[in-house]
Amino acid sequence: MKVLFLDESGDHNLTVIDPLYPVFVLGGVIMDRDYARNEVAAALDKFKLSMFGTTDIVLHTADIARNRAGFERLKDAGFRQAFYAEINALMAQLEYQVVACVVHKDVHLQRYGLAAVDPYMLSLDILVERFCLDVGPVAGGGIIVAEKRGSTLDRGIELAWLNLKIQGTRFMQAADIERRVRGLHLRDKKENIAGLQLADLVVSPIGRHVLGKPDKADWAIVESKLRRSASGRTDGFGLVVLPKKAGPAPATQ
């Protein structure tokens, strides 16, 4: 069974747009469920034990960047350099596909105004489509795990998922979504789920890249893991940037 672990970068809110980060990224990693539970979990535990002497710490980009919640040692330049070298090596060696949708919130709002769809819901449609295509015509062949975001937002996600199963998307019929994906499960970051932590690590480099900010070493790794077409294309297959300048992407993606 395949699993799509989801996380986000940026704020989905269209009423407040940060001029320094005017995008919303919903992205994640696709991998085999048993591989996620065994090899990935073991690799992350080994890394945490080596770096911090415990496996209880949860890898979270915001905490890492701010040297908090167990990552205080990153204030030391030498330790920080070693940490990033090791975590980048770990991200490179693990086997997974990256899929993400980036919404330029300011352009999205300008183009669609009051009709602008919530960036999270818009991105979820895109990623569910691509995940279903990866799962293929296998009954119950996939499951989606997303991070909890608070009771109100969680209810919104659950309703969006229900809507996908009822109405489908532009390119994926509702019956196919319900047949291929067993469900969407919301899990707390504190549960220390390896797949969600890996998803957390890939979304920020994508946001920086799309905004044209200087790429760090992690972007090259994320780019190498992006879902690709048979000819090796990532645009529209592993990475979807909205609003599109041209017409909609074909259903074969």
Q: How far apart are CA 84 and CA 65, in angstroms?
A: 11
Q: Which of 202, 206, 183 is nearest to 28 (CA)?
A: 202
Helix (H), strand (E) at residue 27: strand 23-32
Which of helix, strand or coil describes residue 11? coil
pTM, entire model: 0.93
Question: Per the domain annotation, does 49 fall within a domain?
Answer: no
Which of helix, strand or coil describes residue 146? strand
CB 199 within 8 A of CB 127: no
Over its length of 253 residues, how does the chain's per-residue pLDDT go in tens digits?
999 999 999 999 899 899 999 999 999 999 999 999 999 999 999 999 999 999 999 999 999 999 999 999 999 999 999 999 999 999 999 999 999 999 999 999 999 999 999 999 999 999 999 999 999 999 999 999 998 888 888 998 898 899 999 999 989 999 999 999 999 999 998 899 999 999 999 999 999 999 999 999 999 999 999 999 999 999 999 999 999 875 444 444 5
Task: Give Cβ neighbours of residue 91 (< 8 Å, ≥ 6 apart).
Answer: 198, 201, 202, 218, 221, 222
Task: Give Cβ neighbours of residue 238 (< 8 Å, ≥ 6 apart).
Answer: 97, 98, 99, 100, 226, 227, 228
Question: Per the domain annotation, does 163 fall within a domain?
Answer: yes
CA 106-249-19 angle, 5° bins: 15
Residue type, 137: P
Question: Per the domain annotation, does 24 fall within a domain?
Answer: yes
- Give me the long-range contacts of 80-89 (CB less than 8 A, separation at least 24): 82/51, 83/51, 84/217, 86/47, 86/50, 86/51, 87/47, 87/59, 87/201, 88/217, 88/218, 88/221
Q: How far apart are CA 164 and CA 177, in angstroms?
A: 7
Structural domain for 206, as ranges: 3-30+96-242
CB 103 within 8 A of CB 121: no
Q: How far apart are CA 145 and CA 104, in angstroms?
A: 24
Under DSSP, the state recorded for 118 is P
Side-chain half-sphere CA neighbours of 57 within 13 A? 23
Question: Per the domain annotation, does 9 fall within a domain?
Answer: yes
- Number of domain units in the chain: 1
Q: How far apart are CA 219 and CA 209, in angstroms?
A: 7
Question: Per the domain annotation, does 82 fall within a domain?
Answer: no
Residue 156: the pLDDT is 84
Question: Per the domain annotation, does 248 fall within a domain?
Answer: no
Residue 253: the pLDDT is 57
Q: How far apart are CA 129 and CA 94, in angstroms?
A: 24
